[in-house]
Each structure stands twice: as structure tokens, then as C-alpha cells.
Copies of this chain bind each other. A is one copy, B any other.
Amino acid sequence: MRNLALMTVAAASLLAAAAPAAAQDLAAGAAAVRDKALSDQTAWSVAESLTTEIGPRMVGSPAMDRAKDWAVETFKAHGFQNVKVETFTAQGWFRGAESAEVTGPYPHKLHILGLGRSSSTPKGGLTAEVALFRTYDDLLAQPEGALKGKIAVVTGAMARAQDGAGYGAVGAQRRSGAAEAAKRGAVGYLVRSLSTDDTRLPHTGGSLPGGIPAAALSTPDAELLENLVARGKPVTVKLDMTSRFDPKVPAYNISAEIPGTDPNAGVLIVGGHLDSWDPGTGAVDDAAGIAITLAAAKLAAAQGPLKRTIRVVMWGSEEQGGSSEAYLAAHKDEIGKMVVVGESDTGAGRIWQIRLPTGSLDHPAMRAFRGAIAPLKVIVSREAPRFGGADVAGLVSAGAPFVEFDQDASRYFDLHHSADDTLDKIDPAELSQNVAVWGAFLHAAANSDIEFRAGAAK
């Protein structure tokens, strides 16, 4: 850390010699935020606190009410102002008791985790023969009625990739599989977890309700079912699952600000989501995102004073949906004031690439930002951002400029939505790298007059 700091102070001095005063200030400021971030403990302490003092926090649960209070206290403790709790209504699904077992030809307990919006089984469970498909396309190729009375099983595997591309490639088998299986007559649905790990822990996640019980299998359980089915004898499974769905639960988008010196200079909006799935403690998904953006804003402002306001939002219903729409509805009149928006929601893996709005790369502020993060091994893409995060999608659709900071997702899908999403999986050094990138960005953008809107870059 010491050598890096020396090197980058030298780099900043070189840059300063060739640039006008404002650019020099921007570069020095962004570099200073970066260096402080690399040894700062704020993000770790926020993530540790949320996962230890609250733990899992499903929208609509008592834990989410405690999380809301935690959010308010945490913002205040870190010196934020204008702390706001915006209440909205979301849909909440709650897991009850769940079990699954192979009843023939050889008995086995299966490790499952119900998918969000799964139905319950009839009381006492249901037992049926499985119809196993090694790809989701194989299931979709089944005609109507072909799965009548069966438990459909899809065992397509997710590939590991730095950019998380494997998740999208097989995502539909979790999101839409139950509904598609039900259309074809299935009475239950089991899907290999969208996971890159081989542990016996299943990964849950959102799904379109199909009116049938639907659950994720752990990787080894999916492979066990394949091996059982390969023997050519009928394989029967008993599912016993309970859950509760509430179409109206209270949810909260909680925000706080570090006001800029110029109230008319606009607001930068960044954050992560406060809600989580229930099996883990919601560490990489998404205590990390909250911790990174809160710490980045705090460190950027501490290097101020900054002209523009930075707002950090803890969105309250990303996993089961609703935060994005609620946030847009409450802030649509503010879109024109939004300098830029962005969300951190891929854990704490290091940022390996950034995408900035078209035309902004060569503004002195973004030059300063790029210079500051070059030692952090971050690629600067010349392509426009594609996705700013699920919780800012509403703002983006309404015209807010957005950034995309791509994190290394190689390990993220080992963990997310599973019991393994715990604090120990966050690497403090990688977490700090994220804070350094976000912090340098916020400082440079909030300390300048950069305009990220298409065609208006200056």
C-alpha cells in the first residue's frame, strides 16, 4: 500500500504539471480519495455491522424493520444529512418448512431451497415421478400435457466467468422454469441452482409463479438425480414445502445526503440494496454494495468540500422487486437534477472495468478519475454503460445518466442467494478497491461541472 501511494503521488504531480489548475485539483483530489480508501475501514465496519447485527432481511420481515432502523442510525453515525425513509408497498414471499427426498429406486434426502414465489405443496407433501431435462431447452421442447403429474427437473449447469455471463445464459431455468413446467402439466419443479460452486447448499432466487412448488437443488443433488435417472428406472421424489405470499408488505428506500456547496449543481445518486434473501446473512448480496457506496461517498466528501450533492440510497426490495419503481415514482420530478446514478450489486469482487456515459471520457474530471484508478488495474471501456443496476433501472429509463462499474464475478455466484453469503466471503482488500474506485469517481464528478447527458458532455 505504501509503494502504491508513493507511485501515484508522483503520477499525480506529473499530470498536474501539464494541466490547468482545475484539472490539477481534480486529479489530486481523486488520487487522495483513492489512497485513503485503500486503508480505510468504513466499508468493512458497515458490512460487518449489517450482517452481524441484522443478518438476513427479506422484504416484509421483522428483520427488515430492524434493518431500516439500522440504516437510519448508520447514516447518522457516519455524518450524513437529510436522512429519509421512503415507505412503499412491495410483494413479500416467506419461506416455511421445506424438505425433499428421493423415495425410489434408492432413498436419498435432497438439499433444496424453495424459489421466491413458489407455491406450497398440499399438506403432507406430494410424491411424483421426475421428468429430468439436462437443458432448459429440452423442457421447453415438451408439448402441452407431456409433464402431467410429474415433477419436472432441469439440471443445466452455470459456467464460471469474470463478467458473470453464465448467470444470464441459464437464468431462465430458474426464473421461468416453474411456470413453463406447470403449463405442460407438471405438479412440481426442481432446478439446479444458478451456482458456480459444488457445495451442498442450494441457491434461491426470484421466479415467475407457476402455481406449483418450485425449488433449487444443490449442485451435488442435481448430479445425483442425473445419476439416478441414468439407471433407467423411474425415479420418484417427495416434496414437502410451505410458504406464504403477501401481496402487500411495507418496504423502505432509505437515503441520506452529503450536501454540496451549490444546491443547484445537481445530485449524484449511488447505493446498494438493503434487502436480501434469507439463507445467508446478505453479505455479498448486498451489504457489500451498501458498504462500498456509503464509504465512497463519505471519503469523497471528506476530501471536499464538493460542489454537488451526493446521495446514498439503500434500496429496500431488490430481490423481490419494487424498489426501482417506487424510487422512480417518488423522484421523477428530480430526474433533471440527477448528475449520474449507479448501483453496486455484485458483491465485493474487485472492479476490473468501468463504463462511462458516451462523450464523458475526456472531460478533465473523468481524466482525473481514470488517472486515479489506473494503478488499481481497472480497464476503461470505450463502450457505453449497458446496465446501472436493478434499483436504478427506473431512473435510467426516465433519462438519468448512469455508470457501470464491472466487478469480478468469478466467485460471486458461488455465494449469492445461498447460506454461504456470509461476511467471511468478503475480502477486505477487494472491498477497499471498490471503495477507491467509487470514491475517486464521486469526488471527480461532484467536484466538477461535468454533464453526463448524451450530447451534452463538456
Interface positions of A (Cβ within 8 A of B):
48, 52-55, 63, 106-108, 111, 198-201, 219-220, 223-224, 227-228, 231, 279-281, 418-420, 422-425
A-B contact pairs, 29 of them (CB 8 A): A48-B227, A52-B227, A52-B228, A52-B231, A54-B106, A55-B106, A55-B107, A55-B108, A63-B107, A108-B281, A111-B419, A198-B420, A198-B425, A199-B199, A199-B420, A200-B279, A200-B280, A200-B418, A201-B201, A219-B424, A220-B420, A220-B422, A220-B424, A223-B422, A223-B424, A224-B281, A224-B422, A224-B423, A227-B423
**Do A423 and B220 have beta carbons less than 8 Å apart?**
yes
What's the dominant secondary structure at chain A's contact region? loop
**Do A200 and B106 have beta carbons less than 8 Å apart?**
no
Name the distance in Å between A70's Cβ and chain B's nearest Cβ: 10
User: Which of chain B's residues have a CB closer than 8 A to the CB of A63?
Assistant: 107
Name the distance in Å between A375's Cβ and chain B's nearest Cβ: 30
User: Which of chain B's residues have a CB closer than 8 A to the CB of A227?
Assistant: 48, 52, 423
User: Which of chain B's residues have a CB closer than 8 A to the CB of A279?
Assistant: 200
Q: State A227–B53 Cα separation when bound (angstroms).
A: 10
Chain B's closest residue to A223 (CB) is B424
Q: State A224–B54 Cα separation when bound (angstroms).
A: 12
Q: State A344–B228 Cα separation when bound (angstroms).
A: 27
Name the distance in Å between A181's Cβ and chain B's nearest Cβ: 25
**Do B200 and A419 have beta carbons less than 8 Å apart?**
yes
Across the A-B interface, give the 4 residue pairs with the lowest CB-CB distance, nearest first: A220-B422, A200-B419, A52-B227, A199-B199
Q: State A53–B227 Cα separation when bound (angstroms).
A: 10
User: Which of chain B's residues have a CB closer than 8 A to the CB of A52?
Assistant: 106, 224, 227-228, 231
User: Which of chain B's residues have a CB closer than 8 A to the CB of A106?
Assistant: 52-55
Q: State A223–B280 Cα separation when bound (angstroms).
A: 14
**Do A424 and B198 have beta carbons less than 8 Å apart?**
yes
User: Which of chain B's residues have a CB closer than 8 A to the CB of A423?
Assistant: 220, 223-224, 227
